[in-house]
Amino acid sequence: EDQVTQSPEALRLQEGESSSLNCSYTVSGLRGLFWYRQDPGKGPEFLFTLYSAGEEKEKERLKATLTKKESFLHITAPKPEDSATYLCAVQATGNTGKLIFGQGTTLQVKP
Amino acid sequence: KAGVTQTPRYLIKTRGQQVTLSCSPISGHRSVSWYQQTPGQGLQFLFEYFSETQRNKGNFPGRFSGRQFSNSRSEMNVSTLELGDSALYLCASSVTGEGQPQHFGDGTRLSIL
């Protein structure tokens, strides 16, 4: 069964304190792995797509990496505005339109 | 470029009623997927439509149904509402539904009394 597990469930950081969020997945065939950010009362906002092991994507203070079993979202020198829930999702080969989501990591960055 | 638009934003219904939610995808996107988000279960896939045809379906009862129109706009219907149907219903669109990122609307918050 295709599955996504994210850890930790919650993370509290001081402003400027770098850290990483983990996304472990099992899927029959990976079509793509997606990272989203969700703020309270809003829909998920797309951040990155990764397609194959070894791939990396970067945007401002965020960097996403992918191996055959997991993905990491590295947050460098976070700011309070980075506080949000970060969601990881996978799409399996042949499973059109369907994303399987992890439970998310809720990040709080204190000034 | 306009994003995904969902209406209404909030709905309050009672058990046994039915409800219809609407989703307008990003222009040029032909795939529309629907998800249910609850605190306990997270985001769960309901179904996906492409060119007015349901291509994929999640593990939800037949009370949950949808359709897509020729302009790619989509509607979702829930009949015989139950208390457990209270959730945030999210719509997402992508160009073809195959490997591209899905872009989400802000959802419809459905509360069942």
Q: Which of B94, B31, B92, B72 has the alpha carbon at shortest distance from A38?
A: B92
For residue B88, give how far its alpha carbon lies from the nearest alpha carbon of chain A (Å): 9
Longest Cα separation, chain A: 44
pLDDT of residue B80: 97
In whole angstroms, give the CA distance from residue B8 to residue B73: 14
pLDDT of residue B2: 81
pLDDT of residue B31: 97
H/E element, A14: strand A10-14
Nearest CA in chain A to B93: A97
In whole angstroms, give the CA distance from residue A106 to residue A104: 6
Q: B60 CB near a chain A CB, below 8 Å?
A: no
In whole angstroms, give the CA distance from residue B26 to residue B29: 6
Question: Three-state SS across B72-106?
Answer: CCEEEEECCCCHHHCEEEEEEEECCCCCCCCEECC
Strand partners, B87: B110
From A32, A42, A97, residue closest to B55, measured CB to CB: A97
Question: B102, B106, B109: best mutation site toward chain A, by most A Cβ within 10 Å?
Answer: B102
Q: Which of A92, A89, A91, A93 has the alpha carbon at shortest distance from A101?
A: A89
Tokens representing residue A88 in the block: 């990881």
The answer to whether B81 and B14 have CB atoms below 8 angstroms apart is: yes
Name the phi and psi angles at B58, rounded to 5.
Answer: -90, -170
Q: B39 CB near a chain A CB, below 8 Å?
A: no
In whole angstroms, give the CA distance from residue A106 to residue A83: 8
Task: Give average pLDDT by consecutive 10-residue segment, chain A, 111 residues.
Answer: 96 98 96 97 97 96 97 98 98 94 98 96
For residue range B45-91, list pLDDT tens digits in order: 999 999 999 999 999 999 999 999 999 999 999 999 999 999 999 99
pLDDT of residue B15: 97
Q: Is the per-residue pLDDT at B94 higher than 90? A: yes
Q: Which of A12, A43, A78, A18 has the alpha carbon at shortest distance from B26?
A: A43
Interface of A with B in 43-62 (CB under 8 A): 43-46, 49, 51
Q: A34 CB near a chain B CB, below 8 Å?
A: yes
User: For residue A59, which residues of chain B lie inside 8 Å, CB to CB?
Assistant: none
A/B interface, count of CB pairs below 8 Å: 70
The answer to whether B75 and B7 have CB atoms below 8 angstroms apart is: no
Amino acid at A15: E
The answer to whether A71 and A23 have CB atoms below 8 angstroms apart is: yes
pLDDT of residue B1: 67
In whole angstroms, give the CA distance from residue A63 to residue A39: 19
Q: A9 CB near a chain B CB, below 8 Å?
A: no
